[in-house]
Structure formats: structure tokens, C-alpha cells
Structure 1
Amino acid sequence: MKNIPLPIVRKKKLVIFDLDKTLAESKQPMDDEMAKLVRGLLDHTKVAVISGGSFKQFQVQFVPKLTSGNLGQLSLFPTCGSAFYRFEDGEWHNVYTELLSPEEKARIFRAFEDMFLEVGFFRPEKIYGELIEDRSAQVTFGAYGSTAPLALKEAWDPDRHKRLKMIDVLKRFIPDFEIRTGGTTSIDVTRKGIDKAHGIHQMVKHLGIAKEDMVFVGDDLEEEGNDFPVIATGVDVIPVENVEHTKKLIRSIIQI
């Protein structure tokens, strides 16, 4: 990945962000400082947010912090771009959603259960939310559940070793699906071809912006990460380490 000079970044027509660990801590509401920076960026350019999370998760983490500002400049792409929401007439409207069929979901759930047996994963005594979550267009596993305390999640698999082992097994059971790490303890499963690269192509189609006029910002650009497919699209990418790094980047873009 090459370094993108700031003058070039400032000329981009669309800045695309991952959500977890980029704009907000994992499954936590975006903080007030970040919300202010995003509003400032919306005054300069169009912004899109693409995440493995569902739109319901956007409504918890992101949307409540942006009740004012130039929201017509903002586009939301939940579940790795398998859905698109835009702000019109004072509310968020769904433009499209690509749903998994009941049969596909059943296969994925069964594959997770079979994988647990093979790798020796035992369900925690306390699960926060759902261990395997149906996100309509995506099925997501979270080791302690999607709403587990951040400290608990961060301690479970910091080097992704556990999840990569799980993914190797899942790929044998359901080779016809996309399977990637996401968030802090998550594994995301989508229909083949539904990943963040697909989301980028949908942005080109629905927003009318060429890929060379986009830049993507994310923390999960390693090979098994759910940001990694963006690299293959040719869109310029800026890796960030954490939320504070993203804040510093946005300040540099809007020059404050």
C-alpha cells in the first residue's frame, strides 16, 4: 500500500470509512469528538461508511451522533455493502438490500456449529447478545456475543490466530461463501462476491463517483480482514491503527 499525499486525499470526491475500530470502538457509540469531525468532513466532501455490522448496529453506534449537519452528503453501506441507505426528507431510506435465503442461513449456522466441534470452541457461560447473529444479508459470529464488553473482546483473539483457524475449517464446510474476520472477535459470512469490494462497486453505481475519486480508510486491511477486498478494486486506501489515528487523519484533511 502506497502513501497517499494529503493534497490528493483532499481532492477526493468520496471518503469511505470502516466503522468498528476506525470511527468508533468495537460496537460502541461513536464519541462526540469523532461526530464533530465527521460533520466537518461532510462540509468538504461526500462520505460513505461501510461495515460488517447491520443497519441496526449503525443506528446504535453511528446514526444517533449525527442528527445534524450535511447528511445528504453521507451514505451508509451495512453488512459489507449488501445494503445501502441514504438520507432524504429528514430520514434514512433503504435503496437496496441483498438478503441471504433461509436455506443459505441454515447452512451457515450449521457450519458454525460443526466448526465449533472441530476446533474445540465451547460456548462461554455468559453470552452478550447472540453468539451467531442473523444480520439478514450476513451471518456473524462473535466469541462472547456482539454486545460483549470491549475489554473482554480485545483479550480474546488480539492476533486473530483463533479466528483464522476457525475460518480455515469453515472454508471446508461452506466454500461457496465469503468468510472474513471483522471487528474484534467476529467472523463475517456473506454470499460469494458480497464483500467490501462489492460495496465499492455499488458506490460507483449508485453515487456516480469513479473509483479514482475515492479513498478508503480502515483498520482491517490484512489479508483475512474484511477491509482487505477493497485493495483489489484499485481504490486508494489509508490504513489506520485505531480511532485516534482516524481523528488525526480527518483533522489533516479538513485542516483544523
Structure 2
Amino acid sequence: MPIAPRGSIGIAAHHKQKGNLLHGLCWSLPDMKELIAFDLDGTLAESKQPLSDAMAQALARLLAVAHVAVISGGDWPQFDKQVASRLPAPADLSRLWLMPTTGTKLYTHQDGAWSPVYAELFDETRKQEILTAFDAALEAAGFVPEQTWGERIEDRGSQITFSALGQQAPIHAKEIWDPDFAKRKIIQADLRRRLPGLSINMGGATSIDITREGVDKGYGLKKLRDASGIALDAMLFIGDAIFPGGNDYPAKELGLDTVRVRDPQETLSVIDAIVACQK
């Protein structure tokens, strides 16, 4: 049976009941994908929180039938806290590809440990230009939160990330600050004027990520293709920000089949459906 045309799924999981989701995925993907790629915050876990026990077990089941990749804006320490340290012992980690800072870094599990495959970093001059632009854009936008928790701008080497309420903000505060992305779209537009030639995308609950031009999740997924040898049309991408301006949207623009989810609970349903399709 021929595989579904690329980009043909593109469903929002919450638009389907669980049974219909299972039927829809199995029908759309008669030849199951070799690799399932995920966004992290808002998709596999709440913002900056570790995987739940249920999600960790679900990923272990998925790793038994497919390669799995996680690509997100956080740096390796955050990936280690949220994902790598949470997976149960039976999980086949040799099939897991972890891609911090929007895919400008790649880690794989070899000889019992996680090791970097590559890392692409900003030089110091470019970093300073970005930090200066952030200060100016935030002042121009006038979005001054009443309270912040920790640093608002984080240098991740290959990515500079702005977190409106600070890196340690509680989930409830993040959820109510910019639920419709309206505030960040204004800041994003200002930054794009100040920093031509850089990629500026919204991610997580309160974040804006800046990477080199052309560096987005589409770029990271192409790097993953090269490193893994798995073709793009053999990948499925799952995320909560698959819309224009969202940092998951480049996966759809690249031509991958995609599933948009609302939250980690819906992601669990999608994973269950994918695993069931293999039985």
C-alpha cells in the first residue's frame, strides 16, 4: 500500500475522539513511519517539567516499534532533566535522538552514556547583537510583567532564548501570560526588524528563540535525516505549535506529516494510537 502523501495528516488531535484518532492515523499511514519526532514543552511535558511517569512509559513503548526524536529550544541540561533521566530502564535508548537548541545540537546514547554528535555555536559578537536587540525590543513593546522568576534571557550557545517571566517561572503564571501568543507576536515582529538574517520563533508558554538564519525545527530535522539515515518522508512530527509563527511550523513547511496536539495528555493518546497501529 502506498504511504500517505507528505503533509496529508496535519490533524489536530483534539478534533478527533480517541477511537477516531486511532483509525485516522492507521488509515493515513498504512506504512508506519520509521521515526516519530516530538516537540518537548507543551507536547511531551508541561513547560520545563520532567516527563510524567505515564509519558515516560509511553515513549518506552514507542521506542519498541520506532525511532524517536525530541527537538526543542532547551539546552542539554534541560533535556537531561526533562527526558533522558526520566526514561525507564527497558527503553531502547539506541533509538532515541535528543536535539537541544532547535536541533543545533544532537545527542545519542552510546556505551551507556549520552554523548554529543555535533554542536553549532554563535560567536561572541553575534551574541551581543542579539542581547542588545532583545533589550530594545522589550522596551519598545512595553510588556513588563509584575513579577519574574530568574533570568529572562538565556545564552544556550547555539541559541538565545527569551523567557518573558524568567527561566524558573511557575507553570500557572506562564499559562495565563500569553495564551494566544499575541504579546510574543509583537515582540517577534520587532526583533525580526532589528535582527535580519536570524531565525526568530515562538516556543513553549512564554519563550522566543533566536537561532542562525535558517535554523529552525525544519533545519534540525534535516540534520537528523543526515545523522540517522532516515528519510524525511519516513518521519512523523508531533507538536503543539504547528501554526504560522509557531516554532513547530517549520516541520510542516518541510513537508513532514504532522499531528498538532493541545497538550501532553493528547500526545499520550497519539502515542497509544501509533503503537496500536503496529499491532
Give the TM-score normalised by structure 1.
0.96
Equivalent residue letter for 1:243: P
Give, in angstroms, the shift of residue 126 of structure 1: 4.2
Written as runs of structure 1 = structure 2, the 5 A alignment for 1:176-187 is: 176-187=197-208
User: Which amino acid is the alignment partner of residue 162 of structure 1?
Assistant: K
Aligned to 2:195: 174
Gaps of 5+ in 1: none
Equivalent position amino acid for 1:41 in 2: L
Name the SS for the 1:11 alignment partner: coil
Shift of the alpha carbon at 1:146? Answer: 1.9
SS where residue 97 of structure 2 aligns? strand
| Matching residue within 194, 213, 222 for 2:234 | 213
* 1:157-192 deviation digits (Å, cap 9, x = unpaired): 011111000011111111111001000000000010
Q: 1:11 aligns with which of 28, 32, 35?
A: 32
Distance 1:193 1:117 in 2: 27
Task: Tell me, yes or no, if the aligned pair for 2:57 and 2:88 is still in contact at 8 Å.
Answer: no
The equivalent residue for 2:254 is 233
Contact kept, 8 Å, 2:143 with 2:183, in 1: the verdict is no
Residue in 2 aligned with 1:99?
121
**Residues 18-47 of structure 1: per-residue CA shift (max 9 Å, x gap):** 100110011111100000000000011110
What are the residue-to-residue correspondences of 1:4-153 with 2, within 5 Å?
5-7=24-26, 8=29, 11-68=32-89, 69-122=91-144, 124=145, 126-153=147-174
Q: Distance in 1 between matches of 2:39 and 2:68?
A: 11
Deviations 1:41-94 (A, max 9, x none): 001111000001111110121111115210001000111110000000111010
Amino acid across the alignment from 2:171: L
Q: Which amino acid aligns with 1:39?
A: A
The alpha-carbon deviation at position 125 of structure 1 amounts to: 5.8
Give the SS at the match of 1:194. Answer: coil
Root-mean-square deviation (Å): 1.5
Decide whether the 8 Å contact of 2:221 with 2:251 is kept in 1: yes
Structure 2, unpaired ranges of 5+: 1-6, 11-23
Letter in 1 for 2:134: F
> SS at the partner of 2:143?
coil
Alpha-carbon deviation of 1:231?
1.2
User: 1:2, CA displacement in angstroms?
Assistant: 3.3
- TM-score when scaled to structure 2? 0.88
Q: SS at 1:250's partner residue?
A: helix
| Matched length | 255
In 2, Cα distance between the equivalents of 1:10 and 1:134?
Answer: 41
For the residues of structure 2 that align with 1:9 and 1:90, how far apart are their CA atoms?
35
- Tell me how far apart the structure 1 counterparts of residues 9 and 35 of structure 2 sit (CA, whole Å): 18
* Contact 1:85/1:92, CA 8 A, preserved across alignment: yes
Which amino acid is 1:85 matched to? Y
Q: Which has the higher contact order (CA 8 A, sep 6+)?
A: 2
1:212-248, Cα deviation, whole Å (9 max, x unpaired): 1110000101111100111121111111111010000
